[in-house]
Structure 1
């Protein structure tokens, strides 16, 4: 009798153990890919990049609720959040991680050198020390760059204000992607014989004062793709409209909210490209180390017609330079 009870007890324990194993397997089925997403801050361009990323995955056969689970994290531009959220996504053993914007991408890179990672809305992956080169990343990271032709942006601005003597540049000096573009813009303006005045803002709280100070001293303003200024685009727009100063930005969304024109990137399409790259990695068709960094397929001239009219400029007179 005691022997039978002992056997029964062992059987029950064994079944419970097997049940526990099966539940663990069910929680992370090999048929469901787990993707972690870290976005540096919430603003239109980056939100669209994430939306496009999911669309690119879906078009490639990875659908949320079916064979895909996404853990989305937004650091709200906080360095401590970036670190803890990156570690969370790594500890959860994601099959792939997406970093949206340079600070998020760098934080993920610091957290893992093994988990396949794609990034988007990053201006220069090599300068950010994410890849060995754009052609041969050589590590666990690849993705898409939002670098635009700064020379064309400056030509666009100077075509709008051909008699400009001084052009202002605004950006957050703490964002390496912004500084790269600001340096290129400065070089292009000096080559054109135009004086450059630079102002920087460390937080969105500084943006209004910086914009007001700069707008009162220049004939036009250039803003690179910059998370701080993108997040405060409406504030910038209000100031430049009042001061009657044309603003050209690298970000299309910055222009739609508070600028005049841009030859820029559609971040949703850029995110979609990134999603399709991620799908190739998840399906085992490619590895980040061998996937060249991709540029935006399409760049277009975007003009804020209401801003143009407020500045007394005919929107049709604004043309994309070659």
Structure 2
């Protein structure tokens, strides 16, 4: 399931490429035909992510709410302006957030994943589009605007697979597949949804967010491994960030929230803030500190080289050598080290 950093990146793509531009909406799959008809011809005025949900406001006080869930993803095609605050411009944003990314650097050499794919051009479903990427002023061969350019493209792009919703401007297309939620809602309904969500470090007042998180954790006699996955306690954390944050804090996942010292809970919050910002910037859930040069590039290209415990069941802990444990907690996989986290 895409975690919070991916959804923030998607919202930034919409902010940069769709907000202020009239869109045509359709539902090639047919399951969102009524909603698409209500959106078509309107102008998006705001794009916002809170945790794992994205909210796209349109003129006329109409909102689109999307929760990608386990299988959802957005595909972008056409001319795509890249948000300058993020270091890579994945074509497909959602499930593919674990693929390699372009780190720039002196030679602007892309980092490829195990399968030899680069997320800058491998955007999921096959397309009749040749995409060029410009990530910095040093990149050669493109014009002055940071972004993606489609050459020799078929327009509009062919519909591939089960597309729940297609949003199109004159030059940019976004296709949504497999979401858990894709609904048109009123401002009041959107407010109610956001009110039920826990704090997101990138949304709202930082001090207030921290206090909400600390209070929510310390009043509960529930395992911290469950609390971090509870979207009413904190927004955006999924399986990967949960395992990694608990390891970084050297916390036993089974420790009740109310038994954790306040200073440790506050450190958890600040660590989530740091990791989320790194994820938004790089497009990867990088959770190991102190990596440089080739070690950093290797970690960005391979999931198993950028995590402390996630996906490492049966392997020795990178610090103490204890075998990493895999167990189920509330029907979700939990990775942790019994040696370091006790």
TM-score by shorter chain over 0.5: no
Which has a greater percent of helix?
1
Structure showing greater radius of gyration is 1
